[in-house]
């Protein structure tokens, strides 16, 4: 994982951001909001950042590299759900993964059409519509001459709106909120964390992230620790997973990290992109549900898991939702890793069109 240069960080501003994120997360959790720690942190920090409110005259801040220190926790937790039964079930995921190959370009074309009708030029619309790989999308778009502010705003809002809508959809359909760590409690309920197992899980997080980066795994910061954790759990060396409180802290960090992206963002640009992103998010989730229903009917995959697998949110955040629901978390994560690979690959193949 990349080193964090603490000398370049405003520690007071960082402490205020984390404190406000924690307050938002706890309040949302107490209000029984779905995925409260993540959404509460993201909404409170995001609103303060968007309205340029500076507590103690300090702007909101949270270095991306600090986020990288916590994201592997999700990978280690997901790895704890890997069992021989899951490995055997993965052999039947072919039809679902094949459907994803169709879903990604369809979602891209639909979003591109919406953005063009919303007034964006072809280059901005094309790279803003990529359904995955935020960093790669912005980088490719900048190289093609697109306005990076538009790309970052629309791609960020796609992630945030999807993350907000998916738990609310499950709340409406099931009548119960997506818990903050329900899945982790179920997976590791009978396995208390010993000092030895804690050490092995930390090793899986650090070594997995480094190995994933070396091997250039997509979403390496999660997939590397996930694979290392899976090997430790399958071999019986580790039975526990990260405790629920650590998952909650990770959610607060991720939520605040998304919220600070609105710092310094042009208000008019935010309103304009917000309208486009909202329409795109709704249409993308309807499309994801349609593909999930098809996979459910034809391949027998659980509808809830299939919907989470196709919903175009962030890899870390969608994996957290699956973990919280205790819904086929390996299945969901595998699909989101492939979605990112396909989204970037198809975007590179089609860039000559714009």
Alpha-carbon gap, residue 248 to 246, rounded angstroms: 5
DSSP per residue, 280-349: HHHHHHHHHHHHHHHHHHHH---HHHHHHHHS-S-HHHHHHHHHHHTS-HHHHHHHHHHHHHHHHHHHHH
* 12 within some domain: no
Per-residue pLDDT of 146-186, as tens digits, reads 988 899 899 989 989 998 899 888 777 666 555 544 444 44
Residues 6+ apart with CB under 8 A from 64: 257
Phi, psi of 313 (to 5 degrees): -95, -165
* 4 within some domain: no
* 79 within some domain: yes
Confidence category of residue 187, pLDDT binned at 50, 70, 90: very low
Confidence category of residue 225, pLDDT binned at 50, 70, 90: very high
* 138 within some domain: yes
* Average pLDDT in the chain: 88
> pLDDT at residue 191 above 70?
no
What is the mean predicted confidence (pLDDT) over 249-265?
91
* 52 within some domain: no
> pLDDT at residue 69 above 80?
yes
Model pLDDT, residue 120:
94
DSSP per residue, 214-280: HTT-TTHHHHHHHHHHHHHHHTTS------HHHHHHHHHHHHHHHHGGGTT--HHHHHHHHHHHHHH
* 236 within some domain: yes
What is the mean predicted confidence (pLDDT) over 343-352?
88
Rounded to two decimals, the pTM is 0.84
* 40 within some domain: no
Q: How many domains does the chain have?
A: 1
* Interior angle at CA 161, CA 330 and CA 337, nearest 5: 25
Residues 6+ apart with CB under 8 A from 310: 99, 100, 103, 287, 288, 289, 291, 292, 295, 335, 339
Residues 6+ apart with CB under 8 A from 66: 4, 14, 253, 257
Alpha-carbon gap, residue 348 to 247, rounded angstroms: 35
Phi, psi of 167 (to 5 degrees): -60, -35
Signed CA dihedral, 250, 253, 254, 256: sign only: positive
Confidence category of residue 8, pLDDT binned at 50, 70, 90: confident
> pLDDT at residue 267 above 70?
yes
Q: Domain of 115? A: 70-242+267-353
- What does the DSSP 8-state code read for residue 178? P
Model pLDDT, residue 25:
95
Model pLDDT, residue 181:
45
Share of the chain above pLDDT 90, in %: 56
* 226 within some domain: yes
Model pLDDT, residue 17:
96
């Amino acid at each position: 994982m990349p080193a964090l240069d603490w000398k370049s960080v405003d520690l007071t501003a960082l402490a205020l951001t984390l404190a406000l994120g924690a307050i938002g997360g706890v309040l949302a959790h107490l209000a029984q909001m779905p995925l409260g720690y993540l959404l509460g942190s993201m909404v409170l920090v995001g609103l303060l950042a968007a309205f340029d409110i500076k507590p103690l005259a300090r702007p909101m801040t949270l270095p991306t590299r600090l986020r990288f220190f916590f994201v592997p926790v999700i990978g280690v937790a997901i790895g704890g759900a890997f069992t021989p039964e899951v490995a055997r079930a993965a052999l039947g995921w072919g039809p679902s993964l094949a459907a994803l190959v169709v879903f990604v370009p369809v979602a891209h074309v639909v979003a591109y059409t919406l953005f063009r009708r919303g007034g964006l030029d072809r280059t901005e619309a094309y790279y803003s519509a990529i359904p995955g790989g935020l960093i790669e999308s912005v980088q490719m778009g900048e190289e093609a001459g697109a306005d990076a502010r538009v790309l970052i705003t629309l791609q960020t809002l796609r992630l945030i709106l999807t993350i907000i809508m998916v738990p609310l959809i499950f709340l409406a359909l099931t009548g119960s909120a997506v818990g903050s760590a329900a899945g982790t409690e179920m997976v590791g309920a009978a396995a208390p964390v010993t000092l030895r197992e804690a050490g092995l899980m930390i090793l899986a997080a650090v070594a997995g992230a480094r190995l994933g980066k070396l091997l250039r795994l997509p979403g390496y910061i999660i997939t590397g620790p996930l694979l290392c954790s899976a090997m430790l759990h399958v071999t019986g060396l580790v039975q526990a997973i990260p405790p629920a409180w650590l998952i909650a802290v990770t959610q607060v960090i991720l939520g605040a990290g998304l919220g600070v992206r609105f710092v310094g963002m042009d208000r008019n640009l935010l309103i304009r992109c917000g309208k486009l992103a909202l329409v795109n998010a709704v249409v993308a989730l309807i499309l994801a549900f349609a593909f999930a229903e098809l996979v459910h009917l034809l391949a027998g995959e659980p509808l809830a898991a299939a919907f989470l697998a196709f919903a175009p949110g962030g890899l870390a955040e969608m994996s957290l939702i699956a973990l919280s629901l205790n819904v086929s978390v390996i299945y969901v994560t595998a699909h989101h890793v492939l979605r990112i690979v396909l989204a970037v690959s198809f975007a590179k193949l089609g860039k000559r069109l714009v």
